[in-house]
């Protein structure tokens, strides 16, 4: 199906293609929208401009390969950003201004004021936000809600994700999604970490079929708590170093399970990605809650006895 205004949609049914809009058409659209907003009253109010909130650059830039495309995006919309009475708010990672905006001199020149950078919420503030969300979601006929997790769980997740509230809330969702019993008391940090680790074990299995050797290398990474180099892995498996990279590190990196942590000269050290760091907590917490795990009705996972 075509559209005469210059927007071309995909013809294949069931496939939603993004609209192909030139910067000229986008600029004209925003100007018309601002004129419309300024010319009428909306709910009894008169407005003078438009705020455009552009979200999720942190998600887009989580893949380093997208950096060039994001820089090019800002280069292409430079003129649009200068429209009168249109105010843009961009939500991105910590170094967004330095790495993206400042990368192109043409783009940087129009950002004449110091960027507004908001620090992540503190641990107690995240707990307060979580509690407030629970209150808002509480049914009208319920006197009070039971917190599903202890505050220490939020603190641990805050440390892991460096205050990123999106990741913290997603991890809490994953924890509760693997708890089959009715919540009577908040889950302790050990109980919650085992559940999150179990969820990551299942994700790892869904990411692809891992070989026995790859599982053994992950076991070593988790139980020793140390990053591993290609030379370390060669000693562990008694195999030539070139084979280690191809058969062990590369597949696990492509699956998002491990990542480069640091370098020492030409030596690269690998460790678990932040997303899969909870696998280590299964190992750490397993012995601590061996007696109490049965009381909450959770089947205790054994490290890598599961078949991905």
What CA–CA distance (Å, rounded) separates 37 from 49?
7
- Is residue 196, in this structure, part of any structural domain at all? no
| Domain final residue, candidates 66, 82, 108 | 108
Q: What is the pLDDT of residues 160-179, one digit of tens each?
A: 988 888 889 999 999 988 88
> What is the CB neighbour count within 10 angstroms for residue 187?
23
Assess whether 27 and 85 both reside in one domain.
yes
| Domain final residue, candidates 136, 158, 187 | 187
Assess whether 74 and 104 both reside in one domain.
yes
- How many structural domains compose the chain? 3
Write phi, then psi, for 238 (nearest 5 degrees).
Answer: 55, 50
Assess whether 298 and 222 both reside in one domain.
yes
What CA–CA distance (Å, rounded) separates 257 from 277?
9
- Is residue 12, in this structure, part of any structural domain at all? no
Write phi, then psi, for 45 (nearest 5 degrees).
Answer: -115, 150
pLDDT at 36 over 80: yes
- Distance, C-alpha 205 to centroid of its chain: 19
Question: Helix-strand-coil percent breakdown of the chain, rounded to 5?
Answer: 50, 10, 40
CB contact at 8 A, 75 and 107: yes
Assess whether 178 and 207 both reside in one domain.
no
Q: Characterize 207-223 residue by residue with b for buried, 16 or more Cβ atoms within 10 angstroms of its Cβ, and e for exposed.
A: beebeebbbbbbeebbe
- Is residue 14, in this structure, part of any structural domain at all? no
pLDDT at 195 over 80: yes
Please list, in sequence order, all residues whose beta carbon lies within 8 angstroms of the beta carbon of residue 189, skipping any fewer than 6 positions away: 150, 152, 153, 156
Q: What is the pLDDT of residues 77-127, one digit of tens each?
A: 998 999 899 988 888 887 888 889 888 888 888 887 676 777 888 999 999
Assess whether 181 and 241 both reside in one domain.
no
- Domain range enclosing 289: 202-308
Minimum mean pLDDT range among 33-42, 126-135, 165-174, 276-285: 276-285
Assess whether 217 and 297 both reside in one domain.
yes
What CA–CA distance (Å, rounded) separates 117 from 240?
48
| Domain final residue, candidates 141, 156, 187 | 187
Assess whether 306 and 208 both reside in one domain.
yes
Quote the tokens at residue 97. Answer: 């201004």
The closest alpha carbon to 228, from 275, 264, 282, 274, belongs to 264
Q: How confident is the model at residue 3 (pLDDT cuts 50, 70, 90)?
A: very low
**Per-residue model confidence (pLDDT) at position 147:** 86
Q: Is the pTM of this model over 0.85?
A: no
β-strand partners of 2: 8
């Amino acid at each position: 199906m075509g559209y005469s205004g210059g927007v071309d949609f995909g013809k294949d049914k069931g496939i939603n293609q993004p609209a192909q809009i030139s910067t000229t058409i986008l600029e004209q659209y925003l100007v018309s929208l601002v004129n419309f907003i300024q010319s009428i009253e909306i709910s009894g109010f008169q407005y003078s401009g438009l705020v455009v909130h552009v979200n999720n650059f942190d998600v887009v830039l989580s893949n380093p390969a997208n950096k060039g495309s994001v820089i090019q995006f800002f280069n292409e919309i430079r003129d649009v950003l200068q429209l009168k009475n249109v105010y843009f708010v961009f939500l991105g990672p910590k170094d967004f201004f330095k790495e993206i905006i400042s990368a192109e001199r043409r783009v940087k020149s129009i950002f004449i004021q110091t960027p507004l950078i908001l620090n992540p919420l503190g641990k107690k503030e995240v707990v307060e936000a979580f509690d407030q969300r629970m209150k808002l979601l509480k049914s009208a006929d319920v006197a009070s809600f039971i917190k599903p997790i202890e505050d220490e769980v939020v603190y641990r997740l805050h440390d892991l994700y460096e205050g990123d509230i999106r990741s913290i809330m997603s991890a809490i969702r994953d924890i509760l999604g693997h708890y089959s019993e009715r919540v009577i008391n908040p889950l302790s940090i050990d109980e919650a970490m085992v559940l999150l680790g179990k969820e990551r074990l299942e994700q790892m299995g869904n990411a692809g079929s891992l070989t026995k050797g790859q599982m053994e290398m992950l076991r070593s990474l988790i139980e020793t708590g140390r990053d591993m180099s290609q030379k370390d892995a060669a000693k562990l498996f008694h195999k030539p170093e070139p084979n280690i990279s191809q058969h062990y590190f590369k597949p696990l990196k492509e699956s998002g399970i491990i990542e480069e942590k640091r370098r020492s000269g030409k030596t690269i050290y690998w460790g678990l990605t932040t997303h899969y760091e909870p696998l280590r907590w299964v190992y750490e917490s397993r012995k601590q809650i061996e007696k109490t795990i049965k009381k909450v009705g959770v089947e205790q996972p054994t490290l890598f006895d599961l078949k991905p």
